[in-house]
Every structure is written in structure tokens, then in C-alpha cells.
Chain A
């Protein structure tokens, strides 16, 4: 088990190094304007001197060595255009917490509503709850998110009697953005849980458990739900981690000062060091999410054992 986890971590680190190198090389191909906030006003000698000073005239391998060295020290560099001269880590540390809080809340809400809904749908197949849930899932999936986001904002803020915009100090203003963010995931969890539970319910081991004399409700909880949840667990860490990156649309809709629009923003402003840093952070999140998902599966599902071939007698 430990060996498998270590192997996976090593593979993840290797993947990360490759991604970082590729991103690093690609960013080097960008126009050099991206390193200056007032490129047009500078004369050539100054630009050359500054590039020299930043180490951008060094051979690519030296640059890469310096870059990885700085990374190991936790230094992501400084922003060139977005917020001139500010340390990138400071910018992110300031913006990330609000996105994380929103994301964690919406994740809790989606699990808290989606899982019971999916379970209720599976238990009452083709009856009231199943029909209600199906209508909800189809609506959420068929109507473009942007449309129901705006509806929720307009009518929701009216109904709650609050401002359309987000205020960090006012907890009521958190409700609408968090709820909007959750809708899609509620539908997602409900849909897949229903499907996996129905799959499990028809399996022989469920029949055997009932023949043993186990109560139906106990069979549903301890056999069906538990087994149906396993394939879903894999995706939870990555979903949770991606909440850190925030939701572009909802953050701009409610003017939430989070991470959501940051990457798009810095790309359009051609802030090379920040693009590089953000792409790196996002890839880290993706890789760590998948890694955690896989490790979680191994911990939960005894059939998965990559470390060695299972003994069968």
C-alpha cells in the first residue's frame, strides 16, 4: 500500500516537473513586453539591461535552473503588469481564501443535498422523488448555467431583500453565489449516485443479504449506498481542490474578489510571470486532486491493489 502511494507521488512529481518545464519554455516564447509595465516608453538599452538583470538573457538551462531553485524556496516571482512589483504569492494568498471558503461551502452544500437526493431517487425508482429529481437534473443540465445564474441573482436578491453584490462581512450575501455554484454539482451527485445505486441494487449480493434476513433499509445503507459511493469518492478531492481556483462567472457576477477571473485577467494583460505562476498552481491542483482520488480509492476499495498481485487461493 505504502509502496503504491509512494510510487504514485513520485509519478505525480515527475508529471509536475514536465508540465512546469513545458510551461516555462512556452512562456519564454511570449513577447518580452510581458515583463514590463511601461514597455513603450523605455529605450532599448534600458530594456536590455532589465532583461539582463532578470536573468532572461541567460541560456535557457540556467534560467530553468534558477526558476526551479526559486520555486523550491517558495518564490513565485513578482508580477510585471497586473500589480507591478508585487510578490505573486502575496497576491494569491490575499485572493485564494475567499474562493476557498466559497468553494468549500458550495461543495458541502452539493454533497449535503445531492447525496440524499440521489439516494431518495434510487429508493423510489419511478415514483415521486425520482420524478422530481429527474426534472431537476434535466433542468440544471439543459438550461445554460449562465442563464440560471442570472435568474438566481435577480430574483434571489429580490426575494431575500439584499443587494445583488457580495459583501464579505454579510453572511446573507453568501447564500446566492454559493447556491448558484452548487446547483450543477447537486444534479451531478444525485444523477450518478442514483445510477450507481440502481446498479448495485440488482446485484446478487444484495439478494443474498436480503435472503440472510437483513432489513431492507440496512441493505440499502450498508451494502448498496456504501458500494455505490465508492466510484464517486475518486472525484471528490479534485472537485474540492478546483474550488480553490474559483468560479470565473459567479465571481464576476457578484463582484467577489476571489481567484476566479485571475488567470484570464493576467493572460489578457500579458503578465508573463503571473501566467507562469498561475498555470503552475492550477496544474498542481489538478495533479494533487487526481493523486488523492486514486489514493482514496485504494484505501476504500480492497479490490484495487496496485502494489502487488492479490493472492487468490
Chain B
């Protein structure tokens, strides 16, 4: 894997103001993205996965702002962007996005061709017959047959899986360097999910894209990711290669997350679930945000926020368990059921 960092987030803090109260949605996140890799950001709903990636494109709602930190890309700090004009140099052109629900992410009153053409015109300056030709090529690339004819149809004439292919085609038409896939298969039929993931994988290779997947489906992660970042309560608690995070997970939250995989369950036994609820980010979080729900919490976890400990050059974890003074913790035995041959989680 290429080791050039193309996108780098440093100590990012994002806050939202909601009815006079301030929500600290992203808490001091640092993350690097390497050229050509696929990074998966996993975590439960509300952990800040989507907010983090929307911040990369300046797409957060008007009541949200970058409180501090840097987002470095192409020699510029995106966190300092204030005007729409600046963001328009990034959106689509450099970073494109695929949204979760293909049933609603296309304009129902515009033809597929017009919606792809919009991106072609903006980012490649193509119009008229050139644009039509390119649209047909891209539609063929994403596996839509009879492309010239289909381009003149409207979204309602496409099924869910086909619409997601169109959404992907729009992202491709922007010719971005980075593609963010926000739960690209969550809203799809299980039989279609694998098709779409394979399609995205092929396109990544063909168009030389760097991708960020946001998902809470660990099956998807096993299928597509080179590296995994685990998010909890607006923070990245563990990041490492897919093998490291799946087979040598280090953070109690990652343990809990993996233990609750239905695939690891034994018929007749109760499936593991994480007790409690995530912290309320309207309040200041003290110590390790996961401590109250963790079976491995130390006293210090309630007092002070853990720093990152390096497990390997590619594997970092934010947990006091890795402090040399901490007692040795044994991960839940159920995790040994994760098959190191790979792919088993997706049930191929």
C-alpha cells in the first residue's frame, strides 16, 4: 500500500448549537488518509461518523462549526474555510460523497442524465453531446445497461440498487480523488449489497480513488476496508489495519462491538449486547467516554482521558489499559471465534 498521506485531520473539534445548548460532536479527532486506501469508520449511531466526514466537505448544518483543529488537504487547511467559494473547490471536485438512501438521494424531477451531466459540466467542463457520451460511459461503468436510453429516464424508473449505481455514477462523474461512502448499502436489499460493494471496489481500482466508508455493518468493513477507525462518542478510540482491528482488537469498546456480532453468536446462547447508552455530548465528558459501559474500566478512566498508545506502527488505541502501569486485561474469549482466514464475517 502506498504510504503517502493525502488528507490529514489534526485535533479536530466540531460543535453544534442546539436550542441554546452546545453539543460537542467531534472531540479532538486526528486521522490520516493514505492515497489509494480504503478506510472504514465504524461506530454506533450518533458516534459522529457522518458529522466527521461532512466536516471534510463543509456540509454540516448551519448550526455546526469547527471549533478548533486542522483539516489538511492539498496544502490547504479546510478548517479555515469560511466562504462557499472556497468549499466549491473541494466539493465534488476533490471529495465526492455517496449517501445512504438511494431512494431519496436523486432529484425525482430531473433525468438521470441531467443529474450526472450537472457534475460533468461543473468538474470536467463537458456539455452537449460530449457530456452525453461520457454519461453513457460512466453508466456502463457502474453496470447500467442500455445507458444512452436509461440516461433519459427519471429516478422512479430505477430500482433501489440501480439508483445507488446512479448515485455512484454521479460521484465518479465529479472525478474526485477521495470518495466518501456514507453507509452505501444500509438501505439496500441484502442480495444487492454485495453487488454494490464489489462495484465500488472495482471503480476504486479503475479510477484510482481513496475511499472512506462510514458504516456500522462490520460485515461491510471486512469486505472492503484496508484500515479501520473505531469511533465512539465523537472520538476515534482505535485505528489500525483491518487485520489488526479484527484479530487483535485492543480497546474495550472494540471488544464489545465485535462481541455483539451476530455471526459470533452460538445458537441458543444469548447474543452479547453492550449495556447502557452512549454519553450525552451536551455535557462535558470526563475521562474515557466508554468507561461507564465497560467491563474493564479502571479508576483513572473516570478521571482523565486516555492518550493514544501505539500498539504497532499502524495501530493506535486510546485506552489506559495500554499504560505500562495498568493491570493486564484479557479480551472476551468470544473474539477468538473471528475466523482469521478472513471473509467469514460476510458469510460468503
Binds B, one of A40-48, A143-151, A203-211: A203-211
Binds A, one of B102-110, B209-217, B295-303, B335-343: B102-110
Per the bound structure, the CA–CA distance linking A134 and B108 in Å amounts to 30
Most chain A Cβ neighbours within 10 Å, of B93, B96, B106, B108: B108
CB distance from A258 to the nearest CB of B (A): 38
- State how many residues of chain B have any CB contact under 8 Å with chain A: 34
Q: Restricting to B43-98, which residues have a CB under 8 Å from any CB of A?
A: 57, 59, 84, 88, 90-93, 96-97
Our pick among A207, A216, A226, A300 for the contact of B105 (Cβ within 8 Å) is: A207
B243 interfacial contact with A, CB 8 Å: no
Per the bound structure, the CA–CA distance linking A300 and B110 in Å amounts to 10
Say whether, besides A204-B104, A313-B159, A230 and B91 are in contact (CB < 8 Å).
no
Per the bound structure, the CA–CA distance linking A207 and B105 in Å amounts to 8
A214 interfacial contact with B, CB 8 Å: yes
CB distance from A205 to the nearest CB of B (A): 4
Per the bound structure, the CA–CA distance linking A23 and B126 in Å amounts to 61
A213 interfacial contact with B, CB 8 Å: yes
B122 to A213, Cβ gap below 8 A?
Answer: yes
Say whether, besides A204-B101, A227-B107, A230-B109, A211 and B92 are in contact (CB < 8 Å).
yes
For residue B34, which residues in chain A have a CB less than 8 angstroms away from its CB? none
For residue A209, which residues in chain B have a CB less than 8 angstroms away from its CB? 107, 118
B156 to A302, Cβ gap below 8 A?
Answer: yes
For residue A215, which residues in chain B have a CB less than 8 angstroms away from its CB? 84, 88
For residue A303, which residues in chain B have a CB less than 8 angstroms away from its CB? 108-109, 154, 156
For residue A312, which residues in chain B have a CB less than 8 angstroms away from its CB? 156-159
B118 to A313, Cβ gap below 8 A?
Answer: no
Interface 1/0 per residue, A256-295 and B, CB below 8 Å: 0000000000000000000000000000000000000000
Q: Which residue of A lies closest to B92 (CB)?
A: A213
A301 interfacial contact with B, CB 8 Å: yes
A207 to B99, Cβ gap below 8 A?
Answer: yes
Our pick among A213, A301, A311 for the contact of B119 (Cβ within 8 Å) is: A213
Per the bound structure, the CA–CA distance linking A313 and B144 in Å amounts to 10
CB distance from B224 to the nearest CB of A (A): 20
Per the bound structure, the CA–CA distance linking A313 and B109 in Å amounts to 18
B109 to A211, Cβ gap below 8 A?
Answer: no
Of the A-B pairs whose beta carbons lie under 8 Å apart in the complex, a sample of 29, sorted by A's number, is A204-B101, A205-B105, A207-B99, A208-B97, A208-B106, A208-B167, A209-B107, A210-B59, A211-B57, A211-B59, A211-B92, A211-B97, A212-B118, A212-B119, A213-B92, A213-B174, A223-B107, A230-B109, A301-B109, A302-B108, A302-B111, A302-B154, A303-B156, A312-B156, A312-B158, A312-B159, A313-B157, A313-B158, A313-B162
- B: residues with CB less than 8 A from A are 57, 59, 84, 88, 90-93, 96-97, 99-101, 104-111, 118-119, 122-123, 154, 156-159, 162, 167, 170, 174
* Additional 12 contacts, C-beta under 8 A, given A204-B99, A207-B105, A208-B99: A204-B104, A211-B59, A211-B96, A211-B99, A212-B91, A213-B88, A213-B91, A213-B93, A213-B122, A302-B154, A312-B156, A313-B159
